[in-house]
Amino acid sequence: MKTQTETHTQPVEQKLRTGADLFVQSLVEEKVDTVFGYPGGAVLPIYDALYRADAPFQHILCRHEQGLIHAAEGYARVTGKPGVVIATSGPGATNLITGITDAMMDSLPVVVFTGQVSTAVIGSDAFQEADVIGLTTPITKHNYQVTDIKDLPRITREAFHIATTGRPGPVVVDIPKNIAQEITDKTFDTSFHLPGYQPTVKPNPLQIRRLAEALAKAKKPVLLAGAGVHFADASEELKAFAEKFELPVTTTLLGLGSFPGGHEQALGMAGMHGSYSANMAIYEADLLINIGARFDDRLTGAIQHFAPEAAVAHIDIDPAEIGKNIETKIPVVGDAKEALTALLDIDIECTDHSSWSEETMNNKKEYPFWFERSDDLISPQWLIESVHRETDGHAIVTTDVGQHQMWAAQFYQFNSPHKWVTSGGLGTMGFGLPAAIGAQLGRPEETVVAIVGDGGFQMTMQEMAVVKQHNLPIKVIIVNNEALGMVRQWQEKFYEERYSASLMTENPDFIKLAEGFGVKGIRVSKETDVPSVIKEVFQHDGPVLVDARVQKLDKVFPMVAPGKGNHEMIGVKQCEE
């Protein structure tokens, strides 16, 4: 991770080149290998430059701009490299808004280039004009509109720098058509200096010392690992820290895989649909060490009941997150890897907390996630467990949002980082399929599974054309309960079973749909057929779509009702001997 503002001294050398040529050359210099794009009038100069250039990167034409941005997010999530998007002006740009917001909420490094009408007509309601800067200011880490060709190479470099350093996030660069068309024979200095942007990577030693002293005294310490552990590539350090001090470990939804789910000290995911052991450990802790999580409301439940007895230590590279939602006693501003390394280097003599560790482990054994098997219709949890068994937990799993997302988080055990790709903060339906495309392109050697709901799949199912076009061996599993399952669950629990507009009884024939895209389709509707179907899916070399007809009324448990504390979970069951 870069710690200082970079100064680039290489000029862009060219003779009689257009702004679009300079832009393409900048992508080459940033070592971009994949671009997700969709052409249109305002970016035709850029697409012409791409056609003429012998650029060493691939261009993926998704079928909708929302597909572009989610694919870029999936690519960024599994590679750690920035996802790059090109879209045209107006509707092309506005179709990216959901994905840009999603990337902002989940801190994903995405660099978005939008076309714009020529500078002479900006503000005149010209054809396909949209105020991209105004629209994206609140949902980006930074945005630019290029108004002079000499700034284009430097701004492109700055955009990549800002997106990937500190807390990652989306950056938008809006390029007017006349800037892309303008011809120049000049070279431009690409040096940049950003005095107002200096992320703190190395934590203050005094803050580390305070945390170490608190750990030494704690009788009931708990670790909470968030997505910041992934971004810092700090999983090994987290494991070493937890093992050295025998600390129980919980994770956020986006932190899954940052600590091995099968590790004896792992308590699993905390929050609204988290495990009993994770939520109770946080509720009873006297020291909660949060590493790279932002204490969102789906994690905390009612704030007044969240870790009520704990001194909270919060390690985060973004100082704005510390103390934002939960009162923090020990702030540590810095990169998670740097902070954990510093903590591992300190001699700490801990108070004996073996009885606490034993208590948390007993809760884990006695109150696991549960579901009821069926002799007929498919239990969605069983379906996901079957996928886990067949892939031995090594697949990259993407999801949409809803019940299937939570079941995947509960029943697919993630033992390594960068395997879990989901929309955590924004909760975006339609995320799973295009994110799987980006993940498969970023990690072509790995198995990628998109577990989606029948509702979310229909929002971006046109991207199956991209799966087929590039023969991406993605396994798409539709958890088909003919409903917006989580909406229906809430209507059942909190709206007296008034299922207003949540049932989807007129779904398309997903098998014919798959075949229409040229993809193998399999329907499964009996629990006993699941193992053989799942085996067939993963033995097939190419893409497969599975329409899995699951029990319609299954619910996600445990659950914390709105306004309740995490210790007030419903749907907890004690394990029967």
Active-site residue set: 65, 127-128, 177, 486
Please give the torsion angle defined by the CA atoms of residues 64, 66, 69 and 73, in that order, rounded to the nearest 10 degrees: -120
- Tokens 């802790």, residue located: 285
- Tokens 């709105």, residue located: 562
Are 15 and 185 spatial neighbours (Cβ–Cβ below 8 Å)? yes
* Strand residues in 469-568 grouped as ranges (E): 475-480, 520-524, 544-549
Are 266 and 222 spatial neighbours (Cβ–Cβ below 8 Å)? no
Cα-flanking dihedrals φ and ψ of residue 376, to 5°?
-125, -85
The two most distant CA atoms of the chain are separated, in Å, by 79
Are 41 and 200 spatial neighbours (Cβ–Cβ below 8 Å)? no
**221-225 and 171-176 beta bridge pairing:** unpaired
Per the omega criterion (within 30 degrees of 0), is the bond before 558 cis? Answer: yes
- Alpha carbons within 13 A on the beta-carbon side of 167: 23
Cα-flanking dihedrals φ and ψ of residue 313, to 5°?
-110, 135
CA distance 174 to 190: 18
Compute the C-alpha angle 300/306/308, nearest 5°.
165
* Residue 55: count of CB within 10 angstroms of its CB: 16
| Neighbouring residues of 292: CB distance < 8 A, sequence distance ≥ 6 | 225, 226, 227, 228, 229, 230, 231, 232, 234, 255, 315, 316, 317, 336
Specify the 3-state DSSP secondary structure of 46. helix
CA distance 58 to 75: 13
Are 288 and 314 spatial neighbours (Cβ–Cβ below 8 Å)? no
CA distance 571 to 558: 5
Tokens representing 312 are 């909270």
CA distance 224 to 231: 15
